[in-house]
Amino acid sequence: MMKKTILKISAMLLIMTCIFSCSKKGEIEKIEEEALEVATKAEYEVYFEYLDESFFDMPWFKEKVEESRSLIDAGYLLHERIYQCTYRDGIGFMLDFCVECRDAGFSFVNVDGVTICYSNGWFDSCKELNIDLESKKLIWEIQPDPPVTIENLYEQPLTVINKCVQGQWKLHKFWDGFSHYYANTTVDISEKGVTVSGNEGLNFTFSYGWKKMEVSPPYPDMKSYTTHVMWNNKQNKGEWSFFSLRGDMLEVNLFNSGVYTLIRVRDVEGVK
């Protein structure tokens, strides 16, 4: 009798353990699927757009929005914003039609859409208008493929990290206590290997597997943490881990020796 009771108890414990472990496994898989869906969202949407429709009755504004939508649908890359601002004569609008472009500046129009000044890194005809840029209000924005931002990429499951980092990038900056900037070095990350090439002295390749381990922080105000590391099996050493993804900017922790900042290369119908 006692033997049967023990067997029943053991069976019940086994079933409970299975239910717990299976449900826990299901929860983990669900979390991974949700994170992966967020990480790959940009692949399934043509563009991101924010629109404050209370301004849409202005003819020039409506015309500009429709024109930009057509350009994106045609495959031309652009990232544009329009802000409402106050200035010397009342209400105006700041038009930033190349958000990522260095020294692109902005044009400023009145409520009728008439350009009244222009400003960039080299020329500024807006100084006398007293434009209040500190309290500007975003009323419209459009850009191709909504950016994915995962501040704690190092904490994500390997499926998410792997999906987020693959592709072609431009090396922007190397930080090792000092900042070294680059403009002509590309970084290709595939499922099996990394290739860095250009005319700025950085040319190397390595194949990798993944190993989860503790790494030193990329910045001095952080503690060590555990993440998935690209492991160079041939040389038996860690190469890269990935710290964060902010839109098109990827931060790479160079296994305890500095940080690369990479910018994603976008290519739509040959236009970069």
Q: What are the tens digits of pLDDT across the range 42-73?
A: 444 567 788 998 999 999 999 999 998 888 77
User: Do 158 and 210 touch, CB atoms closer than 8 A?
Assistant: yes
Name the pTM for this structure.
0.52
**CA 185 – CA 199 distance, rounded (Å):** 7
Give the integer Cα–Cα distance in Å for 92 and 97: 16
Four-residue CA torsion sign, 50, 54, 58, 63: positive
Two tokens at 54?
């209370």
- What tokens appear for 66 in the block? 């429709």
pLDDT in tens, 190-237: 998 999 999 998 999 999 999 999 998 887 778 899 999 999 989 999
- Give the C-alpha separation, 182 to 147, whole Å: 23
List the beta bridge partners of residue 53: none
- The domains found in the chain, sorted by start residue, are 47-144 (no CATH), 148-264 (2.40.128)
> For the CA atoms of 125, 129, 133, 137, what is the dihedral angle to 10 degrees?
-110
